[in-house]
Chain A
């Protein structure tokens, strides 16, 4: 150490003694905000969470995050209508992140790699009966089994999967994928009794030795539409068509097929008809395209495949080879009203796709259930008014998608688990809690959603979405081969890395770099940062320059 002349020459770094934090009137704090994708996901997936892992190329890690919420990523990566992508902030920048494609990539990797899920060994395991091996039942069974409970599923039909098998055509969901993901659940120790139709739930509950029941029988009865029809008119419902096709028996529909309805099932039916040899497949719908309940993607793909659309039309009468259509117009409220104008349309057969209903007959002897509107009503814990009887999926809610069903199953499993742990064991423990004693789990603090305005998008490079390759058109129109193909690893990685990580720190080092006062401490990879409030002057640059809105300025208490 050299001799330093007094006052003029100073020892380096001595300003650390000057704690400039006292200047501050506001302080930055790190926050985690709810990304809009997560918020929009009916299955409650932590999408940003698994994309974060996928970005690193840790696909198994990503898959495991996904599996926290969703037991069937390969299925969801195909059939989910991805509300997440609609909500994605990146759409404002260039295009939404291809979340669905990445999920499918992860799901397929897991199937190829034979990745397995661990089952917990709790002190006290319950026995749960799940009715219905559709997406909701399988999801509930999976989540309960992961928590270590014994789970048995009764499935009325000869194969599990529910609407995933019998409602969704193979060109959207190849059966090996579905089978693989169901098998993984079975391999965890979930028992599935196929062909076990429950006619009276009360009997099963009283006799089966179960501690709780999850009812997930779905909505598999095709709704009818009254159409005056001649004897020779060939009319069938879409669910039957899809179910038959799923069973690899291909019905004869004729050259010209009309599908009546505007939902996803209508699209599936029309596209199936095309594949079964119809030269013309026409969707007749009473309203306009923008009011169609079918998902835009499905409509697009149908149009690509040559499906024709007849908007603002109802079928008044069905004859042997012809239909009589009435033109409609929308009133001020958007309801279709008849115009009295008619026209004819050639049709060898008519497929009705006007909705599905739940079969509630098995519940006839369960006392006190509210089944108004054709649905089983449940409380916020997904329990019916009968203690220990939970219900979910299409039987209890209006949003009838695979994703919503899977989300329902997860939610139900969480509450059933709590119910069991709080002593709700019919079979072995006396004094099961009453309905009133069963309280919903305290809700975790729900983070504020990370909106577009929370982001500083300067920092994001332009990176348009990867377009998923599709099967060529000839094969799309004639086979049930999968239409939308998967991403390769490069594409999947790129796509994952397009995630803006809205509201959640992804360790870009901006705060650490832009602080003029060196008051951000970098803790190392995966450990994020912390503020050094001894020195932070509260300028707010870190918050302004955080790309993903994970820093908030809050007023200092005076």
Chain B
């Protein structure tokens, strides 16, 4: 990982802050004056990973730009739980248009800022996985290939949660959703489908692509701040566990994000112009079962009969990620 870990006593690079760390080594989130771009009173479910991810991203972006950020938001949970009339939880200029156009709205904002000569103001467009990999991919791909000066952030919770947990192009194999029920011979989401959006983004050879999870805040903030150093199209794909859709305990949100990375299921890396330049190493590899067994969307893999074939196949795909991205070894 290009991001430098502080080798440090108690909590090193992993905790949010620490009274003994020098300020630059603390996260933006640890600061008493963090922006709280997403503030008190939003209506996200208990333990919402997306609420966390959005605050992390926008606060870091605000920090990196001297509080000059405009956000465009796709329809979805993040939009619904933050802006039900008459209340908004945002504290940054924010625009929601429709489901599939956050990237294009971002392009338009960026163009307007350029026309006004206000290129010190930066644009973050954000969407869930549906608004990114499915309905939003057209506008997103256009934004990428034009290299518009927008940071697009996908908060990936691996299904359409806002509408009641339906499958998206980001839903992993075998996961149960309302449209891929755990019935039939191949219960859950079919194998051999789905999109790997970070690699699709990389294929556009845009300046910067990164993945992150809400479990490693230093890494996430580093990536947002780094993204803000570039001009042009940038993409960060953040895994945000969803207690509702995943059937997990609200308290396990960060734990699950951590396990997704530590199993190899969710590779955390950075790429510049289509080339992987750094990977976040697995600290202590764990079997995928540790991750799967905490989520009711995978309950059919364990009960009534244990599906070793499926668990093994998921393990294989995690191992493939580990090989592909070189996730083991010294950080």
Interface residues of A (CB under 8 A from B): 7-8, 10-20, 23, 55-56, 458-461, 463, 494, 496-501, 506-510, 512-514, 516-519, 522, 524-526, 532, 534-535, 537-541, 543-545, 547, 553
B253 CB contact (under 8 Å) in A461, A501, A538, A539? A539
B47 CB contact (under 8 Å) in A459, A516, A535? A516
Main secondary structure of the interface of A (DSSP, over half): loop
Q: B15 contacts A532, CB within 8 Å?
A: no
Contacts of A23 in B (CB 8 A): 46
Interface residues of B (CB under 8 A from A): 5, 7-20, 26-27, 29-30, 32, 36, 38-44, 46-49, 51-52, 55, 82-83, 85-92, 217, 243, 249-255, 258
Q: B39 contacts A15, CB within 8 Å?
A: yes
Instruction: Specify the chain A residue showing the minimal Cβ separation from B11.
Output: A459
Main secondary structure of the interface of B (DSSP, over half): loop
Contacts of B92 in A (CB 8 A): 12
Tell which of B9, B10, B47, B258 has the most Cβ of chain A within 10 Å. B10
Q: B250 contacts A539, CB within 8 Å?
A: yes
Q: A517 contacts B51, CB within 8 Å?
A: yes
Q: A15 contacts B254, CB within 8 Å?
A: no
Q: A509 contacts B46, CB within 8 Å?
A: no
A497 CB contact (under 8 Å) in B10, B52, B55? B10
Q: B88 contacts A516, CB within 8 Å?
A: no
> What are 5 inter-chain pairs, A to B, with CB distance below 8 A?
A12-B90, A56-B19, A516-B44, A539-B250, A544-B255
Instruction: Specify the chain A residue showing the minimal Cβ separation from B92.
Output: A12
B18 CB contact (under 8 Å) in A463, A499, A509, A540? A509
Tell which of A513, A516, A524, A526 has the most Cβ of chain B within 10 Å. A516
Q: B11 contacts A18, CB within 8 Å?
A: no
Given A543-B251, A545-B254, A461 and B14 touching (CB < 8 A)? yes
Q: A541 contacts B254, CB within 8 Å?
A: yes
Given A461-B7, A509-B29, A15 and B251 touching (CB < 8 A)? no
Give the shortest distance, in Å, between A466 (CB) and chain B (any CB).
11
Q: A507 contacts B44, CB within 8 Å?
A: no
Contacts of B13 in A (CB 8 A): 461
Instruction: Specify the chain B residue showing the minimal Cβ separation from A507.
Output: B19
Q: Which 4 A-B pairs have the closest CB atoms?
A: A497-B9, A513-B16, A509-B17, A461-B12
What CA separation (Å) do A20 and B9 show in the bound complex?
Answer: 37
Q: A12 contacts B88, CB within 8 Å?
A: yes
Q: A16 contacts B39, CB within 8 Å?
A: yes
Instruction: Specify the chain A residue showing the minimal Cβ separation from B283.
Output: A458
Q: B249 contacts A540, CB within 8 Å?
A: yes
Q: A547 contacts B11, CB within 8 Å?
A: yes
Q: A544 contacts B11, CB within 8 Å?
A: no
Give the shortest distance, in Å, between B238 (CB) and chain A (any CB).
14
Instruction: Specify the chain A residue showing the minimal Cβ separation from B6.
Output: A461
Q: A463 contacts B16, CB within 8 Å?
A: no
Given A509-B30, A544-B251, A544-B252, A517 and B42 touching (CB < 8 A)? yes
Given A20-B41, A461-B8, A513 and B250 touching (CB < 8 A)? no
Contacts of B16 in A (CB 8 A): 508-510, 512-514
Tell which of B19, B51, B243, B250 has the most Cβ of chain A within 10 Å. B19
Q: A10-B87, A512-B16 are in contact. List 14 more A-B contacts (CB 8 A).
A: A8-B85, A10-B85, A15-B87, A16-B39, A18-B43, A55-B9, A56-B20, A499-B9, A509-B26, A513-B217, A516-B47, A519-B40, A526-B19, A540-B249
Q: A14 contacts B18, CB within 8 Å?
A: no
Give the shortest distance, in Å, between B254 (CB) and chain A (any CB).
5
Q: B18 contacts A507, CB within 8 Å?
A: yes
Q: B29 contacts A14, CB within 8 Å?
A: no
A494 CB contact (under 8 Å) in B9, B11, B40? B9
